[in-house]
Chain A
Amino acid sequence: MTTFAPGLVADLVTEFKAKGRIVIVGASLAGLRAAEALRDEGFNGQLTIIGDESQEPYDRPPLSKQVLKGWVPADHTVLPRLRDLDADWRLGVAATGLDRVTKRVLLANGDEVPYDRLLIATGTRSRPWFNPKEGALEGVFTLRTADDAGRLQAALAAKPGRVLIVGAGFIGSEMASVCRELGLPVTVAERAEGPLVGALGGVIGDIAAEMQREHGVDLRTGVSVEALEGDAEGHVRRARLSDGTTLDVDVVVASLGSIRNTEWLEGAGLAAGFWGVGCDAGCRAFDINGVVTDTIYVAGDIARAPHVLYNYQFLVLEHWDNAVFGGEVAAHNMVSLEPDRRPHLPLPAFWSGQFGVNIKGVGVAPFADEIVITQGSVKDRRFAAAYGRQGRTVAAVTFNHGKWLEYYGALIERSAPFPPPPPGYDQAGDMTPIPARFPDPRALTGLPDVVLTGHDPTDRGAAFRPKKR
């Protein structure tokens, strides 16, 4: 076998940085930061950024908080630019397909954009109301985009009689908090046993439920909303709950989680689907067989990569800083060759603001089976809690106690024993771990099938079995 001179690899990198063509699909946080990182890395080639929304990249966390409260207009959360980009922006036009053979991204307007390296950062969208006819009623909203936030803010400012929020995850809970701050009657209907249960478990969910009720939220747990009814003008007026009750409502927000924007990759032969786009820890996409690609990278909410701290399980992390750091690592690796490629090994971190409480977390709480409240006072809504799995610390959450997260982050990073040692002061009480009460992850999740095809080792491969529609 020929041994390439070391200079050749360096020449390849130099030439690619000068003349390569990189296309980023997805013009939000991950896409923007990746583009900036590419230029920082010395990439001077052609850079194209494709986004289906017409606005330039903006920040989403304020949408469910400051924007809904009316403090900040919906179009005023544009992300700061960290540098000049000299990019070809194709905003307001969605990518509709990917041809890996000719290396082209197909756009909704019929254009085709060729690439040498592709970054997939198409993120997620909100899961729409399950009944399209009901979802089309006036007064029924979802919240993901700036346009969504603008419309919902206007509806809230009009002082509706009652707001119904369906789903008490972080976004649903934040919206309920805003409604109460605005003095609006609000009902939250959650199918699980409490708010935030999917992300933080039932123990924290109980606390979150108390917070909601203390602030006057009409919280209904263990129920689902089965139907929405409109008036003659097509405006939503009533909701039917699974417990047989009905509610008179003027605004309904479906906060049902997100759907990953992978449809445009259908047929491209990537490990893309319901769960995101599979990639390695260096952000390189897997094809459908689980073989890593050389030219396609993934970052942000849609990336699903194995995480060393969590038994190498494939995780999607819909967190703000995962988009930033994932974008940066993807960018670096797009213009680097072995051994200069870096892993994206984030310590997952997130925050939320609701009912006057700043909630922050690190790690992956749903990976845990136990929890212990370590510091502070649950009653006063100022505490830290650590999550453990099989004797090691895997996550932590704080309520108005965020300055302690650094400590727990370090424990998680080094797989420190669980429970952590008792603090020297302000102990929360009993340090005995209790079950964290996460719902069974297998419930209510309909994954599409993947099947193996072929018989000879040479033609053996994987294929998706289309879902029955």
Chain B
Amino acid sequence: MTPETAWAEAMRFENRPDPYRFFDELRKAPVARVADDVYAVTGYWELLALAHDPRVSSDISRSPVAAKRAAAAKPPPEAEHMKAYGDQPSMIVSDPPDHDRARRQAMRHFGPPHTPDLIPSMGPGIEQLCNDLLDKATGQTRIDIVDEYAYPVPVTVICKVLGVPREDEATFHRWIFDAMAGVDLGPEAATDEGRARAEKGRASVAALKQYLQGLVESYAGKPGEGLLSKLVNDDSPDGPMEPQEAASNALLLLVAGHDSTVNTISHCVLTLLRNPGSIERLRSRPGLIPFAIEEVLRLESAVQFFPSRSATADIEVGGTVIPKGSAVFLMYGAANRDPRRFADPSRFDPQRPDNEHFGWGSGIHTCFGGPLARLEVNLALEVFLRRVENPRLVVDPPPYRRSQVFRGPQHLLVDYDRIRD
């Protein structure tokens, strides 16, 4: 199988439940050219090197992928709006020093040293939410883990953290769903349906951004609760964030702040149910739960890769020279199963030693919300293990969502005997 073919298969929708056999194929060359101007990095050590290499840029405007996408797209009707607001990139598609500044501005209101208590303070509310959701499932014997458990928890939490009205969730949920479905890096993107999805996705992103722009502007000069308000009313050394840039980052934090958590909770349940005995093992040794979660993140990385990076110089790595200007896809999910780094890499082992996986990325763009996500997933899994009696998978593999990047089940049906009090 050529790298091009392996790549196309890994990206194909029908292979979303298991892209890994194609990643294994691809990893025969840990750094491989998979399309014009696109290099996929599937080796652990090669990915580690490139994630930290200051010659690899995350500035999406430098990537040939972005250029191609822009050239292919009709300007959407919302383009005028976007122009009016300017198109300030969020931190994930920016390089230092802008990235560093934006991350500092946002982190100031999210974690230590300036805001050490925010994340821990969310704990009791998260646990309550999880319990409320399972209370609702009392009296039935089937639950869709995605819709009825994994999704409501993080979306509620991120709304609270950011200061996004929870009642707007129904509106932005659809936008986010369509936006994700619209980002297709596989062969189906070129079909009519694919183009239609891309179109819808672009419109959804524009609508979402417009919504967040309005929200951010409503906070400007009127300090309120939540990170977004604090971002635009800041008196830190870096000053307040400009509203356009705040809106871009709001979009990033809103989406990334729950979507990958949903996928991780779902994948935790899926993985435990696929591995007989692991439910009982974690129930008897709850201390293993955090390790089990990290192992799930290694196996089923919620963000499989992020297609923003490109090489700013010829970079030699893993026996290949990535030419200057090429897109560089750091395939976290693939590298997390590199047998040179992880023994028996497809095996679920909650006690795996030295499990330094890329589930949270690596380098300066390492997951901003990781500590919050860890808390959410831990509590969600603890409550699930404590209360759901005799859970069984209904369909395996479950149906998957379309996105190759934010990979996760669309639904995950689980049967059970009863919900314990």
Contacts and interface: CB of A to CB of B under 8 A. Distances in A.
Interface of A: 374-377, 380, 382, 403-404, 406-407, 410, 421-426
B364 A403 contact: yes
B54 A407 contact: yes
Most central of A377, A422, A425 by chain B CB within 10 Å: A425
B95 A426 contact: yes
Interface string B338-380: 0000000000000000000000001110100000000000000
A421 B315 CA distance: 10
Contact of A404 (B48, B52, B95, B313): B52
B312 A406 contact: no
Contacts of A377: 97
Interface stretch (B5-13, B55-63, B117-125, B269-277): B55-63
A375 to B, nearest CB: 6
21 contacts: A382-B100, A403-B52, A403-B364, A407-B49, A407-B52, A410-B49, A410-B52, A421-B55, A421-B313, A422-B55, A423-B54, A424-B54, A424-B55, A424-B56, A424-B57, A424-B311, A424-B313, A425-B54, A425-B96, A426-B54, A426-B95
B53 interface: yes
Given A404-B54, A406-B48, A425-B59, A375 B96 contact: yes
A406 B52 contact: yes
Instruction: Please classify the interface of chain B as helix (H, G, I), strand (E, B), loop, or mixed, using the class held by over half of its residues.
Output: loop
Contacts of B313: 421-422, 424
B103 to A, nearest CB: 10
Most central of A377, A422, A423 by chain B CB within 10 Å: A423
Interface in B221-275: none
Contacts of B366: 403
Contact of A376 (B48, B56, B57, B96): B96
B59 A407 contact: no
A403 B52 CA distance: 8
Interface residues of B, number: 20
A404 B57 contact: no
Contacts of A423: 54-55, 312
A404 B100 contact: no
A285 to B, nearest CB: 29
A422 B48 CA distance: 19
Contacts of B100: 382, 426
Contact of A407 (B53, B97, B311, B312): B53
Contacts of A403: 52, 363-364, 366
A422 B311 CA distance: 12
Interface in B50-100: 52-57, 59, 95-97, 100
Given A421-B55, A426-B54, 16 more contacts: A374-B54, A376-B96, A376-B97, A380-B97, A382-B97, A403-B363, A407-B52, A410-B49, A421-B313, A424-B56, A424-B57, A424-B311, A424-B313, A425-B57, A425-B59, A425-B96
Contacts of B55: 421-424
Nearest to A382: B100
B278 to A, nearest CB: 24
Nearest to B56: A424
Contacts of B49: 407, 410
A406 B366 CA distance: 13
A294 to B, nearest CB: 30
